[in-house]
Structure 1
């Protein structure tokens, strides 16, 4: 399972690193943000399907199906001659990736005792170490020599090698003792997930519109997305109620803050400082290493309680976003970007796995699939909506040629940091 996480981590870091080159070759600047937000949006559908499937059947089967979709999407993206086809490949990959996340969470809950959950999630985070060390640099070097397509096609081969190890190890994984009733309700949840995905995709595409449409469509899409999202999450998430609802909400906020900013880090280094893709990936490497180190620390030292982890996580993100904003406005050295973004990884490493552990602590065997699905849905939806908001600001302020546009992106991220500070302490039940 950690090997699958490693490959998913490599792919995520690689895409962020090489997307400026992909966009340039396929003339896809208009779909730049969509190529990131799209997989996250359709991933919500995969998460709901996987959560329902895991609660009613064997998560091992869900894992196998999600890996097939994951590999198929990577193959299509790597072979695409145009940007629209590349985006379609990303959407297929996102559907499989969303289901993969939920399947792994449920397998952990069914196989390992609760006392080992912090260590397991720390292991998942540690699986980002090697990709963080070499992933961005390798992806940039491959893009500059063999071409960016081999970044995707090479991962496909490694995924099938990983499955040779995974299949024998999954023989002991079983389904629930009692299958829940209510197939109509589950079908409705899938329909709502599709509606959320469509609304978020519309929200992202609105970034390239002009005139009143650029502002009317996002408002309507956001309202539809929130209305459809409510039944897919535990009650009280949107009200930041203490306990599980706030765990889900904070996961959405911090994921949105981190991933919507990370998309623009290599783009800013390439367009504003003339860095190569390999050099631009250094910031992602720094964040990945600090994320893994902080995740190891939170699993190793119990003194880092949940409340402290929430505060340190918000602090790390705030320092990082502040560094990016200052760099965009003043043209400071790109070293500030690399160092600042390392703080973002450290903050996420302390808080991210802790939220996964709390979700399982607040769950029962009957709702492990639903709650794990809700956590991943909030994660992806928050990131997709934040990406759409930053894309709108980026486009409205002039795009990649304007430093002010990057500053606008990081102002949106700063607002999300404020929300993380306000909601973080509420992850603890009374």
Structure 2
């Protein structure tokens, strides 16, 4: 065993654990700012580069490359040193952001977005692997709580930063001014992250299914006019089918345990992100709000998510019954939020009084619902059960990120494509927003069923363990 191997095998010291934990929380803060930055400046970018008709392809560029790299996360973690992965992927992220900031056209901006997304997909899995691998159980739960709670800051700081810099220096400067801080914090995580202390078999790299997953995301955004409603189920089928093969065996059919939790995570993410990620476009294009009002609307969901998660994450549901109660409360809040947004675009309409308040209220209810259940749901997925279920630490890290991202991508890519390219069916943006929220209200019914399944302990036991090993 070499000196490097002995160093990697040594258990992390308490100071290293604290440094890693703080760095991970700071990375999450910057990730939140990035998300709000992208949402806030999107209408400004589209107006400046004459690209409002390319909302769908832009979102596909932000989603499809992640699905090329995200499923490979477990393979990367089992093959390469995590510190080196973090450094290389962060540099790719910086390069993509620079390309976006210098873009002379919407096509180049989309290309820069694709570069950032390719790095982000692998980073998400590698980062979750650091949480699962590098933190003791109690520290892990506290960090998950803090990672949710820190969005309390990023949900305010992100839109304020984006709106302030965009209105004074321009949206291009907003894309890059924060990058030095991101680079420094990621380097600290890379230095603090422990490597695997034991030799493990290399995880399989699902190249083929990763390509199918990315292709499905791209199909959702095809600009085919009146034929788009026919393209939608094809893209969705490709994504769901590929996810079923990449996720641990039996995940989409599971009625209990961590596999059911993964499915619940995907469905919940679909409703929340499908309703909230497009709020800047709905507020600006459909309801005529200005940049500062858009920033307030964009901030509301994350602010309430973080505020509620700060408490629920630090007071985890310790029993299945406690989780069921939180799941029921969260489901109701999510459905109520979608309903309020639907009423906002149905009743308020462009230019009417109360539009801003209604959008803030709807987004806030959605955020409160996620804050109620997300930390516990994530904890249930990452914590191994007493009886083996055949899912390794590296694989569950990849599965958590993939399940959430597939749900989010299905909803947001379809929503952006509909809002930006649905003019062949409905001419007015507000009419397209009404259809979107009506559909999401129906989908929200599935959330409660999947969350209740996640509340049941794993009843498959060793059978699931064997099935998981055969699938791997």
Same fold, TM exceeding 0.5? Answer: yes
Mapping of residues 27-66 of structure 1, within 5 Å: 27-66=50-89
Distance 1:204 1:273, change over 3 A: closer
Mapping of residues 212-251 of structure 1, within 5 Å: 213-251=227-265
SS in structure 1 at match of 2:225: coil
Determine the C-alpha separation between the residues in 2 that align with 1:384 and 1:167: 28
SS in structure 2 at match of 1:154: coil
1:253 paired with 2:280, answer no
Partners of 1:125 and 1:292 within 8 A in 2: yes
Mapping of residues 272-421 of structure 1, within 5 Å: 272-302=286-316, 305-331=322-348, 332-362=354-384, 367-391=392-416, 393-394=418-419, 395-396=421-422, 401-421=428-448
Determine the C-alpha separation between the residues in 2 that align with 1:374 and 1:18: 31
Partners of 1:192 and 1:228 within 8 A in 2: yes
Please provide the CA RMSD for this pair. 2.2
CA displacement, residues 59-83 of structure 1 (integer Å, 9 cap, x when unaligned): 2232223222222221111111111
The answer for the alignment partner of 2:224 in structure 1 is 209
When normalised by structure 2's length, the TM-score is 0.83
Distance 1:79 1:6, change over 3 A: same
Distance 1:347 1:261, change over 3 A: same
Task: Give 1:372 shift.
Answer: 1.3
Determine the C-alpha separation between the residues in 2 that align with 1:300 and 1:343: 21
Distance 1:113 1:399, change over 3 A: farther
Task: Give 1:418 shift.
Answer: 0.8
Task: Give 1:252 shift.
Answer: 1.0
The answer for the alignment partner of 1:175 in structure 2 is 196
Determine the C-alpha separation between the residues in 2 that align with 1:210 and 1:35: 16
Q: 1:2 aligns with which of 25, 43, 67?
A: 25
Task: Give 1:139 shift.
Answer: 0.6
Count of residue pairs brought into register by the alignment: 421
- Give the structure with higher Rg (CA): 2
For structure 2, the residue ranges without an aligned partner over 5 or more in a row are 1-23, 349-353, 460-472
Which stretch shifts more, 161-170 or 319-328?
161-170
When normalised by structure 1's length, the TM-score is 0.91
Task: Give 1:17 shift.
Answer: 1.0
Distance 1:400 1:310, change over 3 A: farther
Partners of 2:86 and 2:190 within 8 A in 1: no
Partners of 2:82 and 2:190 within 8 A in 1: no
Determine the C-alpha separation between the residues in 1 that align with 2:448 and 2:418: 23
Task: Give 1:338 shift.
Answer: 0.5
Mapping of residues 156-195 of structure 1, within 5 Å: 156-170=179-193, 173-175=194-196, 177-181=198-202, 186-187=204-205, 189-195=206-212
SS in structure 1 at match of 2:176: helix
